[in-house]
């Protein structure tokens, strides 16, 4: 046992070797801990493999490098950046925050970052486990995994097999996350955590990852609760055959013909080629996703949303939600979309609802938002298709099965950029983590009244802690939050005043039932 109030650095002895961390803010923190072998050289685009271990005592006081990804000097106008140097192929590390290195068997929260499958890192200050570990007496783990071309490409001429001798998986990123969860299960007791009380949480692409992990055959042995923040369940998940065209397009962008040639390229060239794939796959009115999970029938057997309705995943406790204006994150500041015409938006609606229904659907959306411009209708359509409606369908499916699920909608708007972002994708993150001090670089939070923001942050943060500890998000400082059921459809509305609302997404749910009708 180590005294986290003292000055001696905490040391743990793992099967792989000894680790020396540091005391920071009264917590024992271990950074840059390898959970799998470095995926370099011939191990590029191969499933994560066990780390061989190390001799002596390994220093764990500095973060490991993030997965190679695009980087914009000066940041972006919403998040101010979502991945920062250093980047390196050798990126499979994780970080642990714990109140004490003891045998207390605390509940464990594993956070999987999002980033559209192309960006993000478990080392970002905004995802620091400090607040959850301190405020909830939890052990918190964040991780780096391969993103972009290094994590979301696979090749038919790669004859590698996984440990079970099965076909090579298409989802390299998922093998990383599985390896990290196995590491947590096998090692977290050394950090004061309970391997039988693990919650996996993620936002956006990280929420999609969480659902995909739940659908893996090992799910029942790896975790028992899932928090899904803004999962883009509306994405089409291609089969391996469908995805081959995208892989071929990437090879063309990279200027090579084979995976062996690709393995010789330095990672900056791989990231540069990803920019070409963005252009190749972009469609007007759709969220850009050059890389996608693949239903390979090795690691992923069905759409991640459907995974949570089957097998061991159906028994997990699930908390799921979305923000009211998800799509504003990617489109509201784009001048090309700001000047969208009614005819353009009608054409986009027709792709989902059919030509005959497009005008009525447009009118329904416009009525729900007084003074709506064409871009507002488009934002609501994209939000519904990609996030809100699929999340509601999952809640409906689990309710019909009698499985536990709590639903929320985040409604609090940011005043940033003249209010154009509203309650955009990612805005709930500083409230969930209760760490506005880590978001000073992000335009997204500019202008938020500290008193209102901190009050809502306390409410959400404590709900997430309660769920990780008990499987129920209720706590004393919030109105009663009932599970989502078929008769009530209770959804917690997080805003300056937080209250449960029955069938909060009812208008969108009924409207999108038309999309299922024959066109």
- So what's the pLDDT on residue 517? 54
Cα separation, 453 vs 436, whole angstroms:
9
Evaluate if residue 414 carries a pLDDT over 90: yes
Look up the pTM and report it: 0.96
Question: What average pLDDT does range 467-496 have in this prediction?
Answer: 97
Residue-range domain boundaries for the chain: 1-80+92-98+105-158, 321-516
Please state the length of the chain: 519
- Distance from the first to the final alpha carbon of the chain: 66
Q: What is the CA radius of gyration of the chain?
A: 22
Strands 27-34 and 57-59: unpaired
Across the range 50-64, mean pLDDT stands at: 97
Pair 129, 142: CB distance under 8 Å: yes
Helix, strand, coil share (%) of the chain residues, nearest 5: 40, 15, 45
Half-sphere exposure in the Cβ direction for 64 (13 Å, CA): 29
The answer to whether residues 484 and 322 touch, using CB atoms and an 8 Å cutoff, is no
Give the C-alpha distances (Å, rounded to integers) separating 469 from 105, 138, 219, 381, 497.
Answer: 11, 8, 19, 36, 25
Both tokens of 107, joined, read 């509940």
Tens digit of pLDDT for each residue in 425-461? Answer: 999 999 999 999 999 999 999 999 999 999 999 999 9
Tokens coding 264: 């010789």
- What percent of the chain has a predicted confidence (pLDDT) above 70? 95
Is 497:487 a contact under the CB 8 Å cutoff? no
Cis peptide before 86 (omega within 30 of 0): yes
Q: What is the pLDDT of residue 3?
A: 46
Joined tokens for residue 10:
């905490």
pLDDT band at 167 (very low <50, low <70, confident <90, very high): low
pLDDT at residue number 514: 66
233-257, pLDDT tens digit by residue?
A: 999 999 999 999 999 999 999 999 9
- pLDDT mean over 56-70: 97
Determine what percent of the chain is predicted with pLDDT higher than 90.
91
What is the tally of helices (H) and strands (E) in the chain?
18, 14
75 versus 12: the higher-pLDDT residue is 12
Contact 4, 27 (CB under 8 A): yes
Q: What angle do CA 491, 493, 499 make, to 5 degrees?
A: 95
Residue-averaged pLDDT of the chain: 94
For residue 161, pLDDT over 60 is answered with: no
DSSP output for 473-498: ---TTS---PPP-TTT-EEEEESSS-
Exposed / middle / buried, residue 302 (Cβ in 10 Å: 0-12, 13-18, 19+): middle
What average pLDDT does this structure show over 407-412?
Answer: 98
- Structural tokens at position 173: 């990123």
* pLDDT level of residue 38 (50, 70, 90 thresholds): very high
Element (H, E) at 362: helix 355-368
pLDDT for 197 equals: 98
422 pairs with which residues across the strands?
414
Task: Give CA angle at 253 (251, 256), nearest 5°.
Answer: 45
Residue 429 near residue 125, CB atoms below 8 Å: no
Side-chain-facing half-sphere of 59: CA atoms under 13 Å: 4
Question: Which of the four pLDDT bands, split at 50, 70 and 90, describes residue 157?
Answer: low
> Domain 321-516: what homologous superfamily?
Alpha/Beta hydrolase fold, catalytic domain (3.40.50.1820)
Give the Cα separation of 454 and 436 in Å (integer): 8
> Catalytic residue positions?
204, 326, 425
Instruction: Compute the average pLDDT of residues 389-409.
Output: 97
Structure tokens at 468: 């990780």
The pLDDT-based confidence of 409 (bands split at 50, 70, 90) is: very high
In the predicted structure, residue 158 carries a pLDDT above the cut 50: no
* Predicted confidence (pLDDT) at residue 2 exceeds the cutoff of 50: no
């Amino acid at each position: 046992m180590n005294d986290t109030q003292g000055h001696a650095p905490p040391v743990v002895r793992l099967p792989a070797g000894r680790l020396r961390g540091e005391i920071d803010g009264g917590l024992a923190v271990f950074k840059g801990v390898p959970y799998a072998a470095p995926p370099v050289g011939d191990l590029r685009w191969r499933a994560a493999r066990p780390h061989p271990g190390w001799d002596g005592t390994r220093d764990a006081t500095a973060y490991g490098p993030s997965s190679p990804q695009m980087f914009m000097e000066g940041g972006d106008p919403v998040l101010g950046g979502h991945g920062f140097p250093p980047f390196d192929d050798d990126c499979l590390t994780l970080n642990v925050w714990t109140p004490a290195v003891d045998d207390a068997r605390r509940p464990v929260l594993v956070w999987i970052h999002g980033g559209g499958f192309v960006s993000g890192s478990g080392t970002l200050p905004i995802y620091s486990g400090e607040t959850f570990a301190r405020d909830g007496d939890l052990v918190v783990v964040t991780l780096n995994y391969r993103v972009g071309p290094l994590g979301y490409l696979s090749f038919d001429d790669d004859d590698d097999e996984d440990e079970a001798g099965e076909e090579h998986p298409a989802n390299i990123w998922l093998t990383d996350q599985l390896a990290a969860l196995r590491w947590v299960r096998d090692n977290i007791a050394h950090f004061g955590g309970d391997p039988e009380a693990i919650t996996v949480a993620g936002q956006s692409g990280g929420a999609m990852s969480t659902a995909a992990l739940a659908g893996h055959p090992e799910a029942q042995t790896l975790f028992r609760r899932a928090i899904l923040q803004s999962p883009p369940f509306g994405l089409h998940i291609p089969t391996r055959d469908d995805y081959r065209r995208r892989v071929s397009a990437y090879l063309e962008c990279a200027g090579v013909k084979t995976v062996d040639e690709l393995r010789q390229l330095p990672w900056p060239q791989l990231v540069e080629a990803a920019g070409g794939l963005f252009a190749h796959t972009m469609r007007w009115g759709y969220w850009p996703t050059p890389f996608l999970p693949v239903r390979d029938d090795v690691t992923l057997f069905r759409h991640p949303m459907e995974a949570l309705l089957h097998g061991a995943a159906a028994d997990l406790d699930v908390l799921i939600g979305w923000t009211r204006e998800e799509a504003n994150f990617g489109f509201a500041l784009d001048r090309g979309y700001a000047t969208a015409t009614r005819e353009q938006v009608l054409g986009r609606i027709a792709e989902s609802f059919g030509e005959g229904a497009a005008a009525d659907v447009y009118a329904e959306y416009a009525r729900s938002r007084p003074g709506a411009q064409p871009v507002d209708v488009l934002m609501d359509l994209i939000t519904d298709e990609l996030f809100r409606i699929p999340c509601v369908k999952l809640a409906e499916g689990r309710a019909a099965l009698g499985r536990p699920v709590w639903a929320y909608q985040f409604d609090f708007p940011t005043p940033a950029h003249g209010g154009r972002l509203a309650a955009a994708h990612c805005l709930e993150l500083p409230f969930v983590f209760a760490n506005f001090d880590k978001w000073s670089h992000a335009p997204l939070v500019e202008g938020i009244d500290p008193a209102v923001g901190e009050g809502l942050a306390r409410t959400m943060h404590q709900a997430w802690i309660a769920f990780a500890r008990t499987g129920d998000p209720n706590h004393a400082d919030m109105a009663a939050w009932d599970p989502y059921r078929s008769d009530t459809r209770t959804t917690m509305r997080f805003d300056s005043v937080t209250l449960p609302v029955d069938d909060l997404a009812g208008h969108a749910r009924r409207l999108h039932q038309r999309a299922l009708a024959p066109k």
